[in-house]
Structure 1
Amino acid sequence: MKLSRRKMIGLMGGGVVVAATASAGVFLATRRPTRALAPWETAGAYTEPRMKALSYALLAPNPHNRQPWVAELRGSNMLAIYRDKRLNLPETDPFDRQLTVGMGCFLELLRMAAAEDGYDLQMELFPLGEDGPVATAYFAKGGTPDPLFAHVFERHTNRNAYKDMSVSAKAQAVLADYATIKSDKAEVAALRKLTWDAMDVELTTQRVMMESVDLMRFGKAEIEANPDGIALSGPFLESLMLAGMLSREDQADQTSSSFQQGRDMIRDAMNATQAYAVVTSLGNSRVDQIKAGYDWIRLQLAATGLGLSMQPVSQALQEFPEMAEHYSAVHEMLAGPGETVQMLARLGYGPKIDPSPRWPLETRVPNV
Structure 2
Amino acid sequence: MTISRRKAIALVGGGVILAAAATTGYRVTRSPQAAVKPWELAGTYAEPRQKALSFALLSPNPHNLQPWLVDLSEPDTVVLYANPDKLLPETDPMSRQITIGLGAFLEVMRIAAAQDGFRVDLDYFPDGFDAKALDTRPIARAVFVKDAAQDPDPLFAHVLTRRSNKEPYDTSRPVSGSTVEVLKAASSDLAFGSTLDAEDIAYFRDLTTKALFVELNTPRTHMESVEVFRIGHKEVDASPDGIDLSGPMFESLKLAGLFDREQAADPTSMSFQAGLDMVAGYCETAMGYVWLTTATNTRIDQLNAGRNWVRVNLAATGMGLGIHPLSQALQEYPEMAAHYRDIHARLAPEGGTVQMFGRIGYGPDLPPSPRWSLEHKIVAS
TM-score (ref. length: structure 1): 0.90
| Aligned with residue 245 of structure 2, among 232, 249, 252 | 232
Matched position secondary structure for 2:123: strand
Moved over 6 A (4+): none
Q: Check conservation: 1:39, 1:361, Cα contact below 8 A.
A: no
Work out the CA distance in 1 between the residues paired with 2:153 and 2:28: 38
Please state how far the C-alpha of 1:236 moved relative to its aligned partner: 2.2
- For residues 59-107 of structure 1, the C-alpha deviation after alignment (integer angstroms, 9 at most, x for no partner) is 0000011101001003321111101122110001000000000000000
Q: State the alpha-carbon separation in 2 of the partners of residues 366 and 247 from structure 1.
A: 37
* Cross-structure match for 2:319: 306
Q: State the partner residue of 1:246.
A: 259
SS at match of 2:235: helix
Write the mapping of 1:132-211 to structure 2, written as runs, cut at 5 A. Answer: 132-142=137-147, 143-164=150-171, 165-177=173-185, 178=187, 179-211=192-224
Q: Which runs of 5+ in 2 are unaligned?
A: 1-26, 130-134
Is the helix fraction higher in 1 or 2? 1
Residues 1:220 and 2:225 aligned together: no
Superposition RMSD on alpha carbons, in Å? 1.3
Partner of 1:41: 40
Q: Which runs of 5+ in 1 are unaligned?
A: 1-27
Partner of 2:6: none
| Alignment partner, residue 298 of structure 2 | 285
Does residue 72 in structure 1 map to residue 71 in structure 2? Answer: yes
For 1:241 and 1:145, the matched residues in 2 are separated by 46
Aligned residue type for 1:170 = S
Q: Is 1:324 the counterpart of 2:337 in the alignment?
A: yes
Offset, 1:262? 1.4
Deviations 1:287-324 (Å, cap 9, x if unpaired)?
00000011100000001111101111110000110000
Aligned length: 339
Superposition map of 1:247-262 within 5 A: 247-262=260-275
Q: CA–CA distance in 2 between the matches of 1:34 and 1:155?
A: 20
Q: Aligned-pair distance for 1:340? A: 0.4
Q: What percent of counterpart residues are identical?
A: 50
313, 316, 340: which one pairs with 2:353? 340
Deviation at 1:335, TM superposition (A): 1.1
2:165 counterpart letter in structure 1: N
Moved more, 314-323 or 240-249: 240-249
Contact 1:42 1:55 in 2 (8 A): no
Q: Matches of 2:221 and 2:212 in 1, distance apart?
A: 11
Between the aligned partners of 1:366 and 1:252, the Cα distance in structure 2 is: 39
Tell which structure's C-alpha radius of gyration is larger: 1
Q: CA deviation at 1:39?
A: 1.6
Equivalence for 2:57: 58
What's the offset of the Cα at 1:337?
1.9
CA shift for structure 1 position 37: 1.4
Q: Secondary structure at the match of 1:181?
A: strand
Shift of 1:366: 4.2
* Residues 125-167 of structure 1 deviation map (CA, whole Å, 9 limit, x = unaligned): 0000125210001111023210011001111111111001211
TM-score normalised by the chain length of structure 2? 0.87
Verify: 1:84 aligned to 2:91, yes or no. Answer: no
Distance 2:33 2:283 in 1: 29
For residues 167-189 of structure 1, the C-alpha deviation after alignment (integer angstroms, 9 at most, x for no partner) is: 11210111122231111000111
